[in-house]
Amino acid sequence: MSRLTYYPGCSLRHSAAEFDRSTKLVLQALGVDFVEIPDWTCCGSSPAHMTDHVLAQALAARNLRQAATVGDEMFAPCPSCFQREKDAELEIQEDPEFRAEVNELLDRPYEGAVRVMTLPEVLLEKAGEERIRAAIKTDLVLLNVVPYYGCLLGRPYELTSECDDEQPMTMDRLLSAAGVNVKYWNYKTECCGAGMTMCNED
């Protein structure tokens, strides 16, 4: 039986280990079945796509291949990992010649068609707002929250499946289902400058 696969990526194993733990606990509490991708490797999210496009897609494709041994859907909680994996998924599936070029770099070819999702997508699709609402144990109505999507979870919508590049709504829906008082603000997709921190400290 095909299963939902989980790609933690490097950061969730180290600097964001608490994100890894909380992701697993939330999914378990909501009854969402998943399995970690066997023998996953770094997707190259930080530097690879800036240096060698084919190599970058091959790094992501290797994880897609590993996911395909277990299921045909995977999710990556890290927005940067999600973008790298989703971008590879789309380009490899849409261009057979490029797929062949990528497979030349792999020890074994990727022949699958794995769909890559964000964590908010998984929560809405596999659990749903009603199940989330029913699982809440603490009244959060006094908690005023503004969701922050940044550059990677909201755009481009061709990758993220959001309704709008500038006004993504997936997290808004999740937070509302959890009973939180979601507030509108103009900065939900503003860049935080993360990509510039290596080369321009100011």
What digits encode the pLDDT tens for the residues 16-68? 999 999 999 999 999 999 999 999 999 987 665 667 899 999 999 999 999 99
Mean pLDDT of 169-196: 88
Higher-pLDDT residue of 192, 111 = 111
Percent of the chain with pLDDT over 70: 91
- Helix/strand/coil for 181: strand
So what's the pLDDT on residue 129?
96
pTM of the model: 0.88
pLDDT exceeds 70 at position 88:
yes
| Helical ranges in the chain per DSSP H | 9-13, 17-29, 48-51, 53-68, 79-94, 96-103, 119-122, 129-135, 157-160, 170-177
Question: How far is it, in rounded angstroms, from Cα 63 to Cα 39?
Answer: 8
Task: State the CB neighbour count (10 A cutoff) for residue 137.
Answer: 5
So what's the pLDDT on residue 1?
47
Select from 163, 154, 162, 160 the least CA-distant residue to 187: 154
Integer CA distances (angstroms), 127 to 31, 101, 113, 123, 157, in order:
7, 37, 23, 5, 22
β-bridge partners, 116: 74
So what's the pLDDT on residue 48?
57
pLDDT tier for residue 101 given thresholds of 50, 70 and 90 = very high
pLDDT exceeds 70 at position 73:
yes
pLDDT exceeds 70 at position 123:
yes
Provide the residue type at 187 as one letter.
Answer: Y
How crowded is the C-beta side of 36, counted as CA atoms within 13 Å?
Answer: 12
